[in-house]
Chains A and B, each alone.
Chain A
């Protein structure tokens, strides 16, 4: 079922619907219990039983509990709705979150229904727009708030500039927040660098990062690694999607062909015949895919993004190992190169001396 906009327009309607649905669930459970009980035991037998540990007694207890839950739920319905509305009213939290997920849900459902529609899962720009709308507080208001904060701090600690940098950072962060979802590593790193800089100029003078070995370089490297991993995962998702859709096409074709065979009253053959046909059809379908420019591009992109990520991780590991007396990969590679060059030189000279260097 694809949810309609009208079902999610206002908070009151949503919370009402949600609570009513809870009551229905409880009522259904109660009815089911009663029905199950009727099937297992007769009413008479149940009334006659005095053993509180037997099944009859347990059914009775469950029934009573469900009755109570239903009654409480109905009584609390109004209170709960009002409380939730008080918490969320004016912010339209649910509506906003629904806005955020709607394109995702819609495309997912369309994909399921149509099988071949392009999934917009990876459309980060679209989500950024939505997030901007959901969380994008007016910049002017933020500036005002932080200015007030600065004034407040100044009134307690006149002439102290130490906190101002933190306030500026907070302001910066609030304005930048939506960009964090925009796949914009530059802005992420810029924020991180600013934070590191502010820390170094203030608390860092007393508690420098060096003492716990978290340098700006390492932190930046971690962020970059995360970005490269994300890119690789997206490339993998595209690849898998293409493979999946192609496989589905092949299977659909095979099923249709067999159905037609049966419809015409022909013998579809034994398992081996079917299996050979299945293999041949799949192979042919995938061969067609493999020959396309689109597949080459996607495969190439996936491999490249993986290698970029792997390369980066190797460098990052080296970065962390730099403080320890362990030879790292790049140092070993340098050593291998030196040995290779020396060996080559040696062979050349050996041939020259022996007069066999032809």
Chain B
């Protein structure tokens, strides 16, 4: 019997196609939904997305992404954009860009991020939209930060949505959690100051090295002749390797207090001298976890609902992986509409106020250096 081990996909003509296809790509455009810079503080930027549709949910949504990756994942490409979908559904959307910490930012702590930048952005959105409280959507590490913020400033948050965010770090159902528990973060921070993004990225890739370092690139040969798919692949690559360094002191506390000592879920965490007690999280909560998440295991996410003081909590299971929550077809067609519906149900504003807000926001937009 003849063994059919032929590497057709690796033939020269396919490689030539790849070179031809990539040659004309001059720039990988990401995060293209129109937006306006409305607030700036140090390296932090706050953007307000342009809304062409009628705003049907009057309370604005502030999106808070993780510090370890760039926020444009939520608007990676026009047809796979959680942000555009929210805009289509009638939401007024703001997003924080944490920027790229420089060496001068190495001493920034969780206190600086949460009680400082985060709080200032929330205050800005509240003033900008003339709302006492706003909706908060925290993603991954940004979800953890959002939950901490919501316990510290419950009066400023109307509804809290968290997506694939870790809260209970006691689980070992993810290599990331096991490894983070072992890491000597003190020497890492003392040595590097800021933790290099490349180092963190390598850690993420090491979680599934054969798929993420080999298979993905060989599979690429199958789609090189399709320009659209190729450019989408490259967008994702750009995002994956666009990893900001992490402010050393902030990451030190995040690893020690959360991954290693699990203080958040135990209500033992202190940020900037303030106790973080999840019982103070009293606003409606929508907590989304991904059933096949290899970075943040479901156990780590689901636990939040059992520990908060809110009487209106919803746990949402997304069938897919961590990244699928932002860019997959299910994200566009199922998850985002569900989030929008959840928010609309709880929205307490009215159209009249919203219209005046829109006019107001246009006239008062500002950039603060």
Contact = CB atoms under 8 A, between A and B. Distances in A.
Contact of B4 (A271, A296, A310): A271
Interface string B187-218: 11011010000000000001111110011001
A336 interface: yes
A315 B2 CA distance: 63
Interface stretch (A21-29, A111-119, A207-215, A272-280): A272-280
A300 interface: yes
Contacts of B112: 344
A300 B7 CA distance: 39
B1 A291 contact: no
A308 B1 CA distance: 57
Interface string A309-351: 0110010000000000000000011001101110110010000
B231 to A, nearest CB: 24
B107 A337 contact: yes
B187 A308 contact: yes
Contact of A333 (B5, B106, B214): B106
A173 interface: no
Nearest to A306: B191
B3 A307 contact: no
A356 to B, nearest CB: 7
B186 to A, nearest CB: 10
Given A307-B188, A307-B191, A344-B112, A275 B183 contact: no
A271 B9 contact: yes
Nearest to B178: A296
Contact of A265 (B1, B5, B105, B106): B1
Contacts of B42: 343
Given A307-B187, A336-B104, 8 more contacts: A262-B3, A265-B1, A270-B5, A272-B9, A275-B215, A290-B178, A303-B183, A340-B108
A265 B184 CA distance: 53
A288 B116 CA distance: 42
A65 to B, nearest CB: 50
Interface of A: 262, 265, 267-272, 274-276, 279, 282-283, 286-287, 290-291, 296-297, 299-300, 303-304, 307-308, 310-311, 314, 332-333, 336-337, 339-341, 343-344, 347, 356
Contacts of B215: 275-276, 279
Contacts of B9: 271-272
A283 B191 contact: no
Q: Would you list the 7 A-B pairs with minimal beta carbon distance, nearest first?
A: A340-B107, A283-B210, A307-B191, A300-B182, A270-B4, A307-B187, A279-B215
A297 B184 CA distance: 11
Contacts of A297: 182
B208 A283 contact: yes
Nearest to A338: B107
Contact of A279 (B108, B188, B211): B211
B220 interface: no
A275 B8 CA distance: 12
B103 interface: yes
A286 B214 CA distance: 14
B225 interface: no
B211 A304 contact: no
A299 B179 contact: yes
Contacts of B7: 271
A103 to B, nearest CB: 32
Contacts of A267: 1, 4
Given A267-B1, A291-B178, A311-B191, A336 B107 contact: yes
A48 B116 CA distance: 100
Contacts of A347: 116
B179 A296 contact: yes
Given A279-B210, A283-B208, A299-B179, A310 B106 contact: no
Nearest to A265: B1
B191 A271 contact: no
B123 interface: yes
B211 A283 contact: yes
Interface string B21-40: 00000000000000000000
Contacts of A296: 178-179, 182
B48 to A, nearest CB: 20
